[in-house]
Amino acid sequence: MSQRLHLVFGGELTDPQGTQFRDTDNIHIVGIFPNYQTAYDAWKAEAQRTVDSAHTRYFIAHLHRLRDEETAASATEELEVRG
């Protein structure tokens, strides 16, 4: 079974109804978690901590969905490191 990593991140948005960050240099990376439940718990803690800021939102990204192991790797992934 493949590992299913989840990234929790957030920050201030330009519009509380959207997903565009006001300042990408200040995105808060909460962490990468080994399963959805721990990611959800971290997301919920940050969302509750920032509940008074209407423009601040946190998200869970399913990192395991970003890469399909059945698809051939790109040229940069195939580079061999020689030393």
Is 79 within the bounds of a domain? no
Is 10 within the bounds of a domain? yes
Q: Say which CATH number the domain at 47 has.
A: 3.30.70.2400
Is 81 within the bounds of a domain? no
Is 71 within the bounds of a domain? no
Conformation bin of residue 47: beta by default, left when phi > 0, alpha when psi is -120 to 50: alpha
Q: pLDDT tens for residues 14-61?
A: 999 999 999 999 999 999 999 999 999 999 999 999 999 999 999 999
Tokens of 25: 């240099």
pLDDT band at 65 (very low <50, low <70, confident <90, very high): confident
pTM value > 0.85: no
If one counts the domains in the chain, the total is 1
Residue 10 lies in domain: 6-65
